Chains A and B, each alone.
Chain A
């Protein structure tokens, strides 16, 4: 008996020493990282170079734009002011947000990051973001130069947390080759009645789909605005989804789908919309203005023509904005934060706004950029750019309620149910309203 007891004791002792060893290791490595951080700052003091990190999303043209601009900053203003920025790719917006959360807890957050506009509030209210107002004041940034439709998502509790960077709105794209074939005016439908008319005519004359779309929260937000409503009410504590406006929209596409005029795809099938566009199987689709360059390329490669027009109005024009703002996290030292601000300020200045817009097709976020000679030359070359910009006049922000991510999922699921699987519209929306309101008020 005794020896067994001793055995257990010794085993326990060994295990505790082991555990102590682990925690010891943890502590010592912490200490060493602190030391290295200290040496870093002292080193940067000596060399007067502040190292900061910037996290961005998306590959392709957007990635190239981020790399090019950052390189330029490092070689010009950065060199002058002793700042070096390392730009790091992180995936989609969701990936950036997820990694930012984890990194923030671990104390490894980057100094600057892109942030999808609807998420600003979630991060701001939890103290991750550095309020920018003092910096804006100190640097004398003319805030009225930013397009006002893009600014709503920059603020939480009247404090500014981000500056508009790569921004877009949904817009209507048209395959005008198909419209001509159907004998339609290529300026496109202006109202929802005309939209139905256009779609039906295309289907009758060419056998192609009039409209192709998948259940997508962003375009649905636009449809609600075009019907004089909005997806959430002004307080963002209740949804307008169980309303006549929403039913009108849903039934509009339901009827078109029943006649084979509209190709309604489920939320997971955004790729099929691309296929429809490429194969010229659809005359009209709704997509981000940020896809303009890409769509023009597709049209060129497949030998058809593309025009853009405002999303038709039912009661009034209105589109949500989208894309990302640049934010500064509050995790760095004062010096790093100041450096981060210098970078953000440079990236969102008129000159860089023009470059970013030309590189990617995103909207110029500043009035001065919009009116610049460089942009005007671009409008002449590609007139479609101008349409996107004009529509911006009718734009609003996106809902910022932290529960909206979950609510969006519920809404999209419901759209799938009614559009793809023919669920009853009234009961689906009734249930949806209850669920969404519960999530918004959590």
Chain B
């Protein structure tokens, strides 16, 4: 209230002054001053509107229509949505996506934490290891997918060759519907873990050393130090990484497109969407999937910011 009152008074005084002066140049100057920031953000705003907001609204619009890109658009209300939710294969696709996302994020984050703890001291060998572990991240996912496809080949692949040498039963990595999705998780973890590790390492290094010294003086155990100091101090990073990981996991496409083409229980939301939109020519149906994906990601993001972010220790 108080604030409002102050700003009210201030605005009134500015207004009266503007009225008093009211020369043409002054007014233009004021308008110019106000317009300047908008003008400056305009280029990116325009790009944002044209390439993000407009397609999003158009997608929502299309999801209420039946359209194969060539025919006229027929308005069919919520039919696409009711059909989607009554389609068992779509629910399967959602479950597969969730499996992939949870698998990738949890394994990547935990593994990256362990690696980061191991590599956090800035010694020469660690620097070398850090760059080694980061290397997969800069290789294109397409190349990685092709290489892993050959290594996971059930007849000629390196993985099964190694299992054979150890007299272990071989695995049909990409063909067995119970295994295939986790093979894809493995590929994505292998690619992403170096990036996560590096971010964790820099987070560790920004923790003030006096906290550890104090813990040492108090004779705190290593586990206790980790859970009471390290983890809370890097929680903003952890929070950020988990969130981007979840969103990235829900949107996975390349690996699946190349390695399994959605076969053997690896059909995820975005791949399914691509197939319906561009191979089966059902743009409306695919748009409905897109809307659902957007809503899922939106809800997760909101949930994350509203609940988990409160537990994040921001310095």
Within 8 A of A (CB), among B128-161: 153, 155-156
> Is A98's CB within 8 Å of the partner chain B?
yes
**Which B220-278 residues have a C-beta within 8 angstroms of A?**
259-261, 263-264, 275-276, 278
Residues of B within 8 A of A98 (CB): 278
Assembled-state Cα–Cα distance A190/B299 (Å): 61
Which residue from chain A places its CB closest to the CB of B89 in the assembled complex? Answer: A435
A268 and B263 within 8 A (CB): yes
B155: contacting residue among A4, A122, A127, A272, CB under 8 A:
A272
Interface residues of B in 12-34 (CB under 8 A from A): 12, 14-15, 31, 34
Which B residues are in CB contact (< 8 Å) with A420? 175, 264
In angstroms, Cα B42 to Cα A267, docked, is 49
Are A267 and B46 in contact (CB-based, < 8 A)?
Answer: no
**Nearest-neighbor residue (CB-CB) of A21 within chain B:** B46
Q: Pick the contact of B281 from A2, A101, A268 — CB < 8 Å?
A: A101
Segment from A7-15, A38-46, A137-145, A163-171 that makes contact with B? A7-15
Q: Is the CB of A4 within 8 A of B71?
A: no
Contact of A104 among B50, B70, B264 (CB under 8 A): B70
Q: Is A77 interfacial (CB-CB < 8 Å)?
A: no
Interface membership of B166, Cβ < 8 A: no
> Any chain A CB within 8 A of the CB of B176?
yes
Taking a contact as CB atoms under 8 Å apart, the answer to whether B260 and A126 are in contact is no
Instruction: Establish whether residues B153 and A272, one from each chain, have CB atoms under 8 Å apart when the complex forms.
Output: yes
* Closest chain B CB from A220 CB (angstroms): 15
Cβ of A413 under 8 Å from chain B: yes
Asked if A275 is at the interface of the complex by the 8 Å CB criterion, the answer is yes
Give A260-288 interface residues, CB cut-off 8 Å to B.
Answer: 266-269, 272, 275
Complexed CA–CA distance, A127 and B177 (Å): 41
In the bound complex, residues from chain B placing their C-beta under 8 Å from that of A104 are 70
Contact A416 B281 (CB under 8 A): no
Interface mask (B157-193 → A, CB under 8 Å = 1, otherwise 0) = 0000000000000000011110000000000000000
The segment out of A223-231, A310-318, A402-410 that lies at the interface is A402-410
Query: Which parts of A124-167 form the interface with B (CB within 8 Å)?
Result: 126-128
Query: Is the beta-carbon distance between A405 and B15 smaller than 8 angstroms?
Result: no
- Given that A267-B263, A268-B263, A405-B280 are contacting pairs, would A2 and B70 also be in contact in the complex, using a CB cutoff of 8 Å? no
Instruction: Let me know if A1 is at the binding interface, CB within 8 A.
Output: yes
Q: Given A10-B35, A128-B70, A402-B281, are A416 and B155 neighbors across the interface (CB < 8 Å)? A: no
> How long is the Cα–Cα vector from A167 to B259 in the complex, in angstroms?
29
**Cα distance A102–B170 in the bound complex, in angstroms:** 45
Q: Is A377 engaged at the interface, CB distance under 8 Å to the other chain?
A: no
Q: Does B68 contact A (CB under 8 A)?
A: yes
Considering only CB atoms, which chain B residue lies closest to A4 in the complex?
A: B11
B-side contacts of A424, CB under 8 Å: none
Q: When the two chains form their complex, are residues B69 and A14 in contact, meaning their CB atoms are under 8 A apart?
A: no
Q: Is the CB of B70 within 8 A of A126?
A: yes
Q: Which residue of B lies closest to A94 (CB)?
A: B279
Is A123 among interface residues, defined by CB-CB distance under 8 A? yes
Contact of A126 (CB < 8 Å), options: B31, B45, B46, B68: B68
Q: How far is the CB of A418 from chain B (nearest CB, A)?
A: 12
How distant is B148 from chain A, measured CB to nearest CB, in Å?
14
Q: Is the CB of A18 within 8 A of B14?
A: no
Contact A18 B46 (CB under 8 A): yes
A101 to B71, CA, bound (A): 10
Residue in B closest to A3 when the chains form the complex, CB atoms: B11
| Known pairs A2-B11, A14-B39; A268 contacts B31 (CB<8 A) | no
Contact indicator B175/A266 (Cβ below 8 Å)? yes
Taking a contact as CB atoms under 8 Å apart, the answer to whether A421 and B176 are in contact is: yes
Q: In the assembly, what is the distance between CA of A101 and CA of B14, in Å?
A: 58
The CA of A18 and the CA of B14, in the complex, are separated in Å by 28
Q: Which residue of A lies closest to B266 (CB)?
A: A268
| B121, CB-defined interface residue at 8 Å | no
Distance in angstroms between the alpha carbons of A123 and B282 in the assembled complex? 14
**Distance to closest chain B CB from A358 (angstroms):** 33
A105 to B281, CA, bound (A): 14
**Measured CA separation A209–B173 after assembly (Å):** 22
Are A15 and B260 neighbours in the complex by a CB distance under 8 Å? no
Residues of A within 8 Å of B155, CB to CB, are 272
A226 to chain B, nearest CB (A): 25
Given A22-B46, A275-B156, answer yes or no on A268-B176 (Cβ-Cβ < 8 Å): no
- Chain B nearest Cβ from A35, distance in angstroms: 24
Asked if B38 is at the interface of the complex by the 8 Å CB criterion, the answer is yes
User: B34 to A266, Cβ gap below 8 A?
Assistant: no
Residues of B within 8 Å of A402, CB to CB, are 68, 281
**0/1 string, A1-36, CB within 8 A of B gives 1:** 111100100110011001100100000000000000
B46, A416: Cβ atoms closer than 8 Å: no
Minimal beta-carbon separation of A23 from chain B (angstroms): 11
Q: How far is the CB of A275 from chain B (nearest CB, A)?
A: 7
In the complex, which residues of chain B have a beta carbon less than 8 angstroms from the beta carbon of A3? 11, 14-15
23 pairs of residues in contact across A and B, judged by CB atoms under 8 Å: A2-B15, A7-B34, A14-B42, A18-B45, A105-B69, A266-B174, A267-B261, A268-B263, A268-B264, A269-B175, A272-B153, A402-B68, A406-B276, A406-B279, A406-B280, A406-B282, A409-B275, A409-B280, A412-B263, A416-B263, A416-B264, A420-B175, A421-B176
Nearest first, the 4 A-B pairs at minimum CB distance are A126-B70, A3-B11, A406-B280, A101-B69
6 other contacts beyond A3-B11, A10-B34, with CB at 8 A cut-off?
A1-B11, A10-B35, A266-B264, A409-B275, A412-B263, A421-B177
